[in-house]
Chains A and B, each alone.
Chain A
Amino acid sequence: MSDYKNFTMNFGPQHPAAHGVLRLILEMDGEVIRSADPHIGLLHRATEKLAESKPYNQNIGYMDRLDYVSMMCNEHAYVLAIEDIMKLDIPERSKYIRVMFDEITRILNHLLWLGAHALDIGAMSVFLYAFREREDLMDCYEAVSGTRMHATYYRPGGVAKDLPNIMPKYMLNKNQNLDQVEKLNYNREGSLLDFIDSFIDRFPKNVDEYENLLTDNRIWKQRTVGIGVVSPDRAIDLGFTGPMLRGSGVEWDLRKKEPYEIYKNLEFDIPVGTEGDSYDRYLVRMQEMRESAKIIKQCCDWLKNDNGDFISSNNKIAPPDRDDMKENMESLIHHFKLFSEGYCLPVGETYKCVEAPKGEFGIYMISDGANKPYRLKIRAPGFPHLASLDEMAKGHMLSDVVTIIGTQDIVFGEIDR
């Protein structure tokens, strides 16, 4: 029995637990991983090169499609970079709207992560619960931007539209009777902010439900405790950011350390782990959802008492008012130039980053004074995380690879770009 040899196994690219299109070449010693070599790039769309051929505003839509479960956070880093190069101040209201939607996005992302991660390691029902809440948050996306996922809502200078005063409702249809439809519409009678308020009221109880299913669950603990342990120093060296870094016990959150927009006015805590294993990262993300809910509540309260502008009045970068365009020559010209040629940024370079749900999402933008970015480098948080898969999986069993992919919160839209 001594002449067993290591063998190589192909995992993916079409595997439900590979979270998209990950191909892993695993060198196995029986059930134990000796090395893992991720092959990525199957979703490579050359976003950075495409962005260099388009005017600034036309690239916002590409940002949504990077990390396609945290759409608005990607847009946020991009518009921040533009605003930084042109030294543009934006209205207070738009900052609050952006922060509120950043946090809605964080919950959206963490819910998808939670559902998929649990599903991968055998817990079916969490997925269904998580998607119930995601549905409501996607309705918020739809209410402000018209789309459920790829919103293109943030614009240089603010956001595309103000928050709507009415919330779209379910209509009577052949599958649901009047009672059922009314029940679905119970919190949709007021504005979007009222709807978000009612969501935030119930959301902490929903998180309790998920935790009830998992946190003390014996199987869940057996599958996650002690799996993929990363020490704090090693996590820094490997380029970890976000929950991956905090799970290892490093208290680092850009919302606190380099507060952008209005994060310094808000009260929230940064959860950190102690062990640096998959279970700690799970706990960190669960707590982050609760903190996000607190932030959304604070933004909601502020926005309810405010009637300011949602976008800058500088018509060189933000479109003029629709009515104005019909009567005012200047506005007509601004509108025409903005939507045909775009606008030119001053010469300069900048690196702007936001605390995206997965970690530090950064945009390194170089402008040579043109109406298109000269170079746009997207710093995706998942890229260094996946790079460490070999190190994290080494010595674990085959089934733990699935846990590690899950705990890294891999999305190929941003890794392959």
Chain B
Amino acid sequence: MNKIRELLDGHIVDYVESDMTTVTVEKAKLKKVLSLLKEDINLKFTQLIDLCAVDYVEYGDSEWQTKEATSTGYNRGIRPSSHSRIDFSNETNEDEYDLCVTYHLLSITHNKRIRVKCFLDDDSLIIPSVTDLFASADWYEREAYDLFGVLFEGHNDLRRILTDYGFIGHPFRKKFPLVGNTQVRYDPEQRKVVNEPVDIEPRTLVPKVIRKK
């Protein structure tokens, strides 16, 4: 759709036609692009269908190298790539991340969809909130904050939404261990529910492999 290309000319850094039109924007232009898409009479992308964050830090990494298999055999007990733990002694969690926020818009008037991607390429986790453009962004942004730690500037009520009260960390980042950092149990002596560091070992059932054709 060249209409979108014309309209957004100069505001976007990338334009791809895949399963749907996908445009990539810089953080500074994000709100401008979204409001153009929403307001334009020929597009009318008035519904924010979905908003989610993606952590690209392990993109394309394979857990199981098979090139040398003929001489070395396969290693069965591989460690999962995401096993970094919070160090409770100094409370600093030096996670690596490479976050992107993806917006899926729908135009009910013209039956069209568009995906807008915005990478948080500098070290700041802050991105402008779009709650003033789309009411549905409210909880989606809370979710992205909770699970990935993206900070939405201008959101009125950026609380955690899915994780437990008092949870530490952002669990959907790739470097967050799948088994978690803490476990909960009832302690009969203290007569209360206690949190303690998790005592199961992370493991991989099926290794992640990338086979190039």
Contacts and interface: CB of A to CB of B under 8 A. Distances in A.
Contacts of B48: 239
B8 interface: no
A364 B134 contact: no
A48 B136 contact: no
Interface string B159-178: 01111100000011000001
B139 A252 contact: no
Contacts of B205: 53-54
A384 interface: yes
Interface size for chain A: under 10, 10 to 19, 20 to 34, or 35 or more residues? 35 or more
Contact of A236 (B46, B102, B138, B172): B46
A344 B102 contact: no
B49 interface: yes
A375 interface: yes
Given A252-B108, A351-B115, A364-B104, A236 B50 contact: no
Contacts of A368: 59-60, 210
A349 B19 contact: yes
A375 B52 CA distance: 10
B124 interface: no
B155 interface: no
A353 B106 CA distance: 12
A349 B16 CA distance: 11
A349 B20 CA distance: 10
A45 B118 CA distance: 27
A329 B110 CA distance: 52
Give chain A's interface secondary structure class.
mixed
Contacts of A342: 206
Nearest to B61: A368
Interface string A5-37: 000000000000000000000000000000000
B208 A370 contact: yes
Contact of A46 (B20, B22, B172): B172
A239 B135 contact: yes
B50 A377 contact: yes
A341 B209 contact: yes
A191 interface: no
A366 to B, nearest CB: 6
A239 B133 CA distance: 12
A220 B26 CA distance: 52
B183 interface: no
Given A41-B163, A238-B135, A53 B178 contact: yes
Contacts of A353: 49
Contacts of B135: 234, 237-239, 388
Interface residues of B, number: 47
A166 interface: no
B113 A351 contact: yes
B60 A41 contact: no
Contacts of A374: 58-59
Given A41-B163, A368-B210, A387 B138 contact: yes
Nearest to B113: A351
A416 B207 CA distance: 27
A344 B210 contact: yes
A41 B161 CA distance: 6
A364 B102 contact: yes
A350 interface: yes
A362 B113 CA distance: 13
A383 interface: yes
A222 interface: no
B203 to A, nearest CB: 10
A371 B52 CA distance: 22
Contact of A237 (B46, B111, B212): B46
Contacts of B210: 344, 368-371
B19 A351 contact: yes
A208 interface: no
B65 interface: no
A20 to B, nearest CB: 14
Contacts of B52: 364, 377
25 contacts: A48-B172, A53-B178, A58-B206, A236-B46, A239-B48, A239-B136, A258-B111, A350-B19, A351-B20, A352-B19, A360-B49, A362-B49, A364-B102, A366-B54, A368-B59, A371-B206, A371-B211, A372-B206, A375-B55, A377-B54, A379-B49, A379-B50, A383-B139, A388-B135, A416-B162
Interface of B: 18-20, 22, 46-50, 52, 54-55, 58-60, 62, 80, 102, 104, 108, 111, 113, 115, 134-136, 138-140, 143, 160-164, 171-172, 178, 204-212
Top 10 A-B residue pairs of the complex, sorted by shortest distance between their CB atoms: A239-B136, A41-B162, A387-B139, A377-B52, A350-B19, A379-B50, A44-B162, A237-B135, A369-B210, A384-B136
Given A237-B135, A238-B136, A351-B50, 20 more contacts: A41-B160, A41-B163, A46-B171, A46-B172, A49-B172, A50-B178, A237-B47, A238-B135, A250-B108, A252-B108, A340-B206, A341-B206, A341-B207, A369-B212, A370-B62, A370-B209, A371-B209, A375-B54, A379-B50, A387-B136
